Structure 1
Amino acid sequence: MNFLLAAVGVLGVASSGPLIAATLGATSVGALAIAFWRNAIAAVVMAGPVVVRSPRQFGRVTGAEFRWSLAAAVALALHFACFITSLQLTSVAAATALVCLQSAWIAVFQLFRGVRHPWPVLVGLGIAFGGVVTITGFDMGASSEALLGDLLAVAGGALAGIYTLAGGRARQSMSTGVYTALCYGMCAAIVAGLALLVGVPLGGFDAAGWLGIIAITVCAQLVGHTAFNYLLATMSPLLVSMIILLEIPGAALLAAAFLGETLPAGTYAGLAMILVGLAVVVLGQRRVRSLRASGEGSGAKGPDADRLADLGTD
């Protein structure tokens, strides 16, 4: 049952890139509109059970919890703006792989904060970012538009890392339902403000546009991430995080099958390097947790270290 649910989860998150690319290409829906409705719908869905069971939880949110949730929401809004826009400029496979670097970015941010990682994590970071250089190098030769899309996807991955770290601080004392409803709701409000600022419509779409928005929200946000959140209760975070990495080849296969996307052989090599590098980073974190649990480790202290096993956002 768990592996069937894992397969459904992988299919859900892997469908995000192809569904977004298809919606952007075939309808009048813009990147900010997709980001707005995806978060607004998810916020309502996540807030529902909390409102029914214990609505007073929202009134108990402290100032610190609100500030960390707001920081996460800002990062998430900018993440979606970068990632969804990148899908208009570069390939689905490249954008998905580059944005999935969020765990690598978290490790980099931790390095700047003085956290010492074991050598496998550092090796994995080198391999993953080598994959970035490989992909962007091929896209640089293809077109400046594809290169810009790659850079936006890389920025989206870094912003996803910031979102995860900020959310980790907020989640120290907040329930999942309250945090996600608050964060997604504020993210939707921020995206709506950005859309208003640049004059992007959030409504008035045809049936195909609304169908695309609903498919993205249901498949990626509700089915994909809900499946993995459930699995975290029955599987180790390490195993779940490894399964999530299948999103990278999954998105490439779906884009090839349904969008007819073909890539240079060198780009596939870059995708493979990112996949292997992230796997090494995740496996390296197991050593950090084992050392910390036994009291022998001095690095990767606090909840941030566990964020490397957290779920992605796409």
Structure 2
Amino acid sequence: MSRIEQSHESLTLPPARDAGLLAIALAGVSASGPIMAATAAPALAIAFWRNALGAGSTGLFVGLRHRAEFAALDRRGWAVASLAGVFLALHFGTWVPSIKLTSVASATALVATQSVFTGLIAAAAGRRLPRIAWLGMVLAIIGTALIAGADFGISARALAGDGLALLGGIFAAAYVTAGASARREMSTSAYTTICYSVCALGLLVVCLAARQPLSGYSGKAWLLILAVTVSAQLLGHSLFNVVLRSVSATFVSLTILIEVPGAALIAGLWLDQWPPLSAIPGLVLLLAGLIVVVRARQPGAEPVPDLD
């Protein structure tokens, strides 16, 4: 994963080539939740291997190419980038287990509330938000409550999954905030190398402390772990970053929200995991609220990160 860069804010349609890349990226990120739900391995182990493989595939190349920049970084730069990595580990350490407890549709929708929590953090820091953004947050909160109510009627396990997905959204928002601060003094490559390495190390420590097996899986499980790494990062968010040369960050952020119904559709067709009818009004209202929040963003606002 790499952080999506800010671009101009127009919502004009992308060129045909970039529209195709966006479609591939959307298919990649939409498949990540269902793939992890189908993987017969502990959730925390899936989170670790996905990040370790992703960081390892680019970390060595970036480390050799940017040795001078790493050497020039001060303590604050290392500390803030490492803090972002801790928040990223907490994000994956809560969201991936949530997929195993509740439906893919609920988990994907609820973790997308990171946009709401990012706005709330910005407001707490003194940034003035447009009124329409607050309206979107209210809609999203109501939708969240409806989803939680529907899942409570199913089982306490599903409700616990909803809670973990919400925590994943909160930690994602903290990751965005810390990452924005770190990026003011370092390149994307240096930042992501430090952040993702800390994230993988943190998840490794948690897996070892919780005695989660990190090996001994079936061949199919390893293929699915590799598949989620490729689909979410190489075919997903890497391509989102590519199209930002011609597409606004707001357009990409709105496009990413299609992951919510996309993941639900894939989970339904592949895993026969359809959201209960009672949860659909909440899912629709939450998605509508998130669209309003993202659409209300102003030039200079922090972009949506690529996480899931």
- The answer as to 2:261 corresponding to 1:249 is yes
Partner in structure 2 of residue 313 of structure 1: 307
Runs of at least 5 residues in structure 1 that lack an aligned partner in the other structure: 290-304
- The answer as to 2:67 corresponding to 1:55 is yes
Runs of at least 5 residues in structure 2 that lack an aligned partner in the other structure: 1-16
Aligned to 1:306, the other structure's residue is in SS state coil
- Given that 2:31 and 2:266 are in contact with CA atoms closer than 8 Å, whether structure 1 keeps it comes out as yes
- Given that 2:264 and 2:275 are in contact with CA atoms closer than 8 Å, whether structure 1 keeps it comes out as no
Determine the C-alpha separation between the residues in 2 that align with 1:261 and 1:240.
27
Partner in structure 2 of residue 189 of structure 1: 201
Partner in structure 1 of residue 177 of structure 2: 165
- The answer as to 2:22 corresponding to 1:6 is yes
For residues 251-279 of structure 1, the C-alpha deviation after alignment (integer angstroms, 9 at most, x for no partner) is 01101110101222231111111111111
Determine the C-alpha separation between the residues in 2 that align with 1:263 and 1:43.
33
The root-mean-square deviation of aligned C-alpha atoms, in Å, is 1.3
TM (norm. structure 1) is 0.90
Partner in structure 1 of residue 128 of structure 2: 116
- Given that 2:80 and 2:179 are in contact with CA atoms closer than 8 Å, whether structure 1 keeps it comes out as yes
Per the TM alignment, residue 50 of structure 1 is displaced from its structure 2 partner at its CA by 2.2
Letter in 1 for 2:272: G
Partner in structure 1 of residue 220 of structure 2: 208
Determine the C-alpha separation between the residues in 2 that align with 1:186 and 1:262.
35
Following superposition of structure 1 onto structure 2, how do residues 29-178 of structure 1 map, counting pairs within 5 Å? 29-178=41-190
Determine the C-alpha separation between the residues in 1 that align with 2:133 and 2:168.
21
Aligned to 1:87, the other structure's residue is in SS state helix
Letter in 2 for 1:109: I
Determine the C-alpha separation between the residues in 1 that align with 2:73 and 2:29.
30
Determine the C-alpha separation between the residues in 2 that align with 1:224 and 1:278.
20
For residues 72-125 of structure 1, the C-alpha deviation after alignment (integer angstroms, 9 at most, x for no partner) is 111111111111111111000000000011111101112222222111000000
Aligned to 2:296, the other structure's residue is in SS state helix
Partner in structure 2 of residue 296 of structure 1: none
Partner in structure 1 of residue 249 of structure 2: 237
Per the TM alignment, residue 52 of structure 1 is displaced from its structure 2 partner at its CA by 4.5
- Given that 2:106 and 2:162 are in contact with CA atoms closer than 8 Å, whether structure 1 keeps it comes out as yes
Letter in 2 for 1:261: Q
Determine the C-alpha separation between the residues in 2 that align with 1:224 and 1:256.
20
Determine the C-alpha separation between the residues in 1 that align with 2:125 and 2:66.
37
Letter in 2 for 1:166: A
Task: Please identify which structure carries the higher helix content.
Answer: 1
Among 240, 253, 274, which residue is 1:228 paired with?
A: 240
Letter in 2 for 1:4: G
Per the TM alignment, residue 141 of structure 1 is displaced from its structure 2 partner at its CA by 1.1
Aligned to 2:100, the other structure's residue is in SS state coil
Aligned length: 292
Identity of aligned residues (%): 41
Partner in structure 1 of residue 7 of structure 2: none
Aligned to 1:88, the other structure's residue is in SS state helix
